[in-house]
Amino acid sequence: MRRIFFAAVLFCTSASLLAQDKDSVMIKRISDEILTNGTAYSNLRFLCKQVGPRLSGSAQAEKAVRETARMLKEVGADTVWLQECMVPHWVRGEKEEAILKMANGVKKPLKVTALGNSVGTSAAGITAYVVEVRTMDELNQLGEAGIKGKIVFFNHKMNPTFIRTFQAYGEAGIYRFRGPSMAAKYGAVGVIVRSLASNLDDHPHTGATGYIDSFPKIPAVAISTNDAELLSRTLKLRMAPSMVYFKTNCKMLPDVKSYNVIGEIRGSEFPNEVITVGGHLDSWDLAEGANDDGSGCVQSIEVIRAVKALGVKPRRTIRAVMFMNEENGLKGATQYAVVARTDGKKHIFALESDAGGFTPRGFSISSNDAQKAKLAPWKNLLLPYGSYEFHDFGGGADVSPLKDVGAVTAELLPDSQRYFDIHHAETDVFENVSPRELHLGAVNMAALVWLISEYGL
């Protein structure tokens, strides 16, 4: 009996090792194909230089829909289609103006940019005394007596002690998203928010604000971190108060029709089990949206291209999705999840790349204990390609709604130390993406997608 037991153990171990070896060979083929023949970088160049900024509702966003649909057809997706969604249409208008008016008569231009979804000022702009706060508690302590009729300056720095820079971004983001409404609650006439940037620079970083309907909607701008330091120093002099003038020309127009772009390879054995891999097609209008999130889009297209180029048949359906309107509404992701609830398919896994085209470090994955156990042996398969971090939380904004239909959600984790130098700023351009790093990220995405297409979850 003991011999039979050990023979069974030896057989299972050998079978497992053989499967691992087969998978290792396949992942090496995927890697070689992408690193040798990958088109993600050239597709990104086209998206950045020939299409440009892709704010939802814009003509460039419409062009990006057409061009990424073309890319998916050219790489050989079995089916390519557009999924309609209605999206907000916010426009920036003419460039913003801002001036610090010191008590001694000196005037200093400030580098600012309107926050996404913000209302504009009047034609005359806003001129008011400024009150600086670093936290919501400070804002609440000042109350109406200290804030009414003034511009509130939220000077909350991203915490430099957080090694995971997205943790610092999440903590600071509340001041950009909720700050304008919280200040308006106490009678503020405008808001200046310190840019969500890791370092000191001269590039203001935009991003969405979210108004609370029960409070007035007041104009809001982000200020570069260098000018945030200048403004803070000036306000601390206190001998005579300084004023700030700013003018913005932005406005919200009626929603317009747009689309998610979808291309898939049908599964050979389980076509109704769907693996989604994607990024968001829209970007802010200050730059080309190269890292946020052109990189994630072209990496997802590259997953389809590599599988087709190798001539292999995935057992489950692999679907690449270019989500529309992540930046200021999430309407594309919402619509995709609505359809997923009723399309008769089992959505088993959804992977997003929306943290830049930098060197991959691993994945964050939201899964249960049984799924974790299935994923665990694959870590060693991905380690040679740079993935060593696997976290128990996962799923970016566009794939998170798929949790409600039972999908395991995940996100690629590139090195994030440089990301918030360029995020939502005029520096998010094609030249700040390395072809090697971009393609290596696509390798890791394609490898994980392939494993799940073979073995399920």
In single-letter form, the type of residue at position 119 comes to V
Contacts with 124 (C-beta within 8 Å, 6 or more apart), sequence order: 247
Long-range CB contact pairs, 184-188, < 8 A, 24+: 184/215, 184/216, 184/217, 184/218, 185/215, 186/139, 186/142, 186/143, 186/144, 186/146, 186/147, 186/148, 187/144, 187/147, 187/148, 187/149, 188/147, 188/148, 188/149, 188/150, 188/151, 188/152, 188/218
229 is catalytic: no
Residue 11: which H helix or E strand, with range? helix 2-37
Among residues 302, 326, 327, 426, which one is catalytic? 326
For tokens 């600012």, what's the residue?
112
Tokens coding 322: 């270019």
Tokens coding 251: 């406005």
409, 403 contact by CB (below 8 A): yes
Q: Nearest 5°: CA angle at 179, between 175 and 184?
A: 170
Please give the positions annotated as active site. Answer: 326
